[in-house]
A and B are shown apart, each in its own frame.
Chain A
């Protein structure tokens, strides 16, 4: 008995490979703009061509995908929690210099705990400052470069 396989377009991975291939193409054009000397393009140009060729192969596959892209059994809430952690981490990196490493670490530890599902007030109150204290003082002992802090 012949079964029909339902096909659909896997938009997310298609967008990802298209974006990465676009960056590769922009990189190639910029490098060609710098110089056409083989010493500039020896590895870069064939690799960028390979990326574009593989984009065509992969895009064809994503246009005719058999299974939904991404991990199976993941709910919308699960994805939102991951995106919240990614956003919190991005915010933490951006806050390091303007707020100081100590405040940024404390804030990210608090938000990270909350996103992870910690609801005990004592844990939320004690862990972030104690952890920041340990990390800032520990890395001050190890790292030869100064890093800006607001309180510690």
Chain B
């Protein structure tokens, strides 16, 4: 599985080219900064720096871009923890427990855990990529629409009752999210729910809606508070506590490993990527936990599960890109564009003929994971000062920044309008105990599930029993039903216990 002569050549290539290394720290810093800005996605950050790589050699250019990728992958978790805004769509699940931890004054620990989980996730995913790049890519090729739809539905059901007071409220919120996700033209060409608004033909703008639901709605609820962290003694910024957060990751190796492998696998599937991986990993961690009720209230395992998955999905998507030449998402598409700019064609032939370069890229990513640990700690230390800012300044400032981010994504007023509508919806729903995160999940997965179900329907010619020829999809669906039954049973038991106490 490992080509040792090529490996030796890769080590020699990296050792003899200092210009490949000087771009790692700037790349990570750019990624961290852009990832932390709401509305600037990983792919947007990479697109912004892509022209600068034209005058670099091929290897330094790719190392620079992958550094931006790695930095932005973690950068998104910083606003997710501190102000409940996922800097990127891959940090949605980080908000579920990261922000409640920050509200309790555990922002240092939450950010430390997110950083360490990300670094370990990146490292393990590239180790897996190093050993299993070819077999992983072959498995990915066997995944069809049935399996993709089943993965989407799996994520939906796992997350249906996040933080909500009852399963009914969770499912209601998730179903509303799915309906929002089906607005506009579907892949069969039918237009529904667009209300004659041209920009709704492409569907509800996901990122502005997500920021509105998660962040703006929470900011409204905070209008009467003075600081994000109420107790003054908890507003400290401490390097020791950031490192303590890192140690928490080592105390929960199962959550870390589960998240990492979910991330690698889901990240490798083209079209799904890190924005889904973090949700599925979070849902799995919650399902497997002995204390699922603590999730959504500041359980560090939730942060670890989300961050390990979104970071490790980088390695997964790189596997598909390097071995097959198929970009799993926007970021790997930009990497392929960088390949093309240097007259290199990605795909199986590149992998076969330039295995030493592939290994050099993988090895440099091992180093990036360690450098991110140092650079990220410094960045987190500075970013944490947000908890010391009075909310009377923070609320209007963050609402304005979110609005500008929403505009930046859509390039029109459609983004800000969507942000406002979903902010009000999110505020009302969270006020009455509906899990807003479930709407976000429904919105993110609704379109994916519909697209894949349609493909499956077309392949099967409308025969629902055709699914029986896809045992993996059936297995996932059975798991989903079992998970739902367990959730309902847990809900009924809890309500009975509450009644008995009353």
The one of A43, A66, A97 in contact with B453, judged by C-beta atoms closer than 8 angstroms, is A43
CA distance A35 to B458 in the complex (A): 17
Whether a CB of chain A sits under 8 angstroms from the CB of B457 is yes
Whether a CB of chain B sits under 8 angstroms from the CB of A1 is no
Check A70/B193 contact, CB under 8 A, given A37-B188, A43-B450.
no
In the complex, the answer to whether B188 meets A40 with C-beta atoms within 8 Å is yes
B 177-208 contacts with A by CB, 8 A: 178-179, 182-183, 186, 188, 190-193
Residues from chain B with Cβ under 8 Å of A143 in the complex? 404, 407-408, 411
Whether a CB of chain A sits under 8 angstroms from the CB of B69 is no
Whether a CB of chain A sits under 8 angstroms from the CB of B344 is no
Check A44/B182 contact, CB under 8 A, given A70-B431, A86-B220, A97-B413.
yes
In the complex, the answer to whether B172 meets A39 with C-beta atoms within 8 Å is no
B 361-400 contacts with A by CB, 8 A: 390-393, 395-397, 399-400
Whether a CB of chain A sits under 8 angstroms from the CB of B171 is yes
CA distance A60 to B363 in the complex (A): 59
- Give A107 Cβ to nearest chain B Cβ, in Å: 10
Whether a CB of chain A sits under 8 angstroms from the CB of B462 is yes
Specify the main secondary structure of chain B where it touches its partner.
helix
In the complex, the answer to whether B416 meets A96 with C-beta atoms within 8 Å is yes
Whether a CB of chain B sits under 8 angstroms from the CB of A16 is yes
Residues from chain B with Cβ under 8 Å of A5 in the complex? 502
In the complex, the answer to whether B191 meets A82 with C-beta atoms within 8 Å is no
In the complex, the answer to whether A113 meets B190 with C-beta atoms within 8 Å is no
CA distance A39 to B188 in the complex (A): 6
In the complex, the answer to whether B432 meets A69 with C-beta atoms within 8 Å is yes
- Give A64 Cβ to nearest chain B Cβ, in Å: 13
Residues from chain B with Cβ under 8 Å of A66 in the complex? 502
Count of interface residues, chain A, beta-carbon cutoff 8 Å: 66
In the complex, the answer to whether A108 meets B396 with C-beta atoms within 8 Å is yes
CA distance A118 to B393 in the complex (A): 9
Residues from chain B with Cβ under 8 Å of A13 in the complex? 432-433
Whether a CB of chain A sits under 8 angstroms from the CB of B428 is yes
Residues from chain B with Cβ under 8 Å of A142 in the complex? 37, 40, 48, 408
The one of B168, B192, B412 in contact with A31, judged by C-beta atoms closer than 8 angstroms, is B192
CA distance A24 to B175 in the complex (A): 10
A 70-108 contacts with B by CB, 8 A: 70-71, 74, 78, 81-82, 85-86, 89-90, 92-93, 96-97, 101, 105, 108
Residues from chain A with Cβ under 8 Å of B171 in the complex? 50, 54
CA distance A71 to B176 in the complex (A): 23
Specify the main secondary structure of chain A where it touches its partner.
helix
Residue among B40, B404, B428 with the most chain A CB within 10 A? B404
CA distance A140 to B113 in the complex (A): 34
In the complex, the answer to whether B392 meets A131 with C-beta atoms within 8 Å is no
- Give B167 Cβ to nearest chain A Cβ, in Å: 10
Whether a CB of chain A sits under 8 angstroms from the CB of B29 is no
Residues from chain B with Cβ under 8 Å of A30 in the complex? 192-193
Binding stretch for chain A, among B76-84, B134-142, B417-425: B417-425
- Give B496 Cβ to nearest chain A Cβ, in Å: 14
In the complex, the answer to whether A38 meets B457 with C-beta atoms within 8 Å is yes
Residues from chain A with Cβ under 8 Å of B183 in the complex? 27
CA distance A70 to B395 in the complex (A): 21
In the complex, the answer to whether B392 meets A116 with C-beta atoms within 8 Å is yes
B 36-75 contacts with A by CB, 8 A: 37, 40, 48
Question: Which partner residue on chain A sits nearest B400 by CB separation?
Answer: A105
Whether a CB of chain A sits under 8 angstroms from the CB of B169 is yes
For the complex of A and B, 7 pairs with smallest distance between CB atoms: A112-B396, A116-B392, A13-B432, A39-B188, A40-B190, A145-B411, A31-B192
Instruction: Pull 26 A–B residue pairs with CB atoms less than 8 Å apart, ordered by A.
Output: A5-B502, A13-B433, A17-B172, A24-B176, A24-B179, A31-B193, A39-B454, A42-B454, A42-B457, A47-B175, A50-B175, A51-B172, A58-B168, A61-B166, A70-B432, A71-B221, A71-B431, A82-B221, A86-B423, A89-B423, A93-B419, A96-B416, A97-B413, A108-B396, A113-B396, A142-B48
**A-B contact sample (14 more), CB < 8 A, given A31-B193, A47-B446, A85-B223:** A20-B176, A30-B193, A37-B190, A44-B192, A71-B431, A82-B224, A89-B423, A92-B403, A116-B392, A135-B401, A135-B404, A139-B407, A143-B407, A147-B407
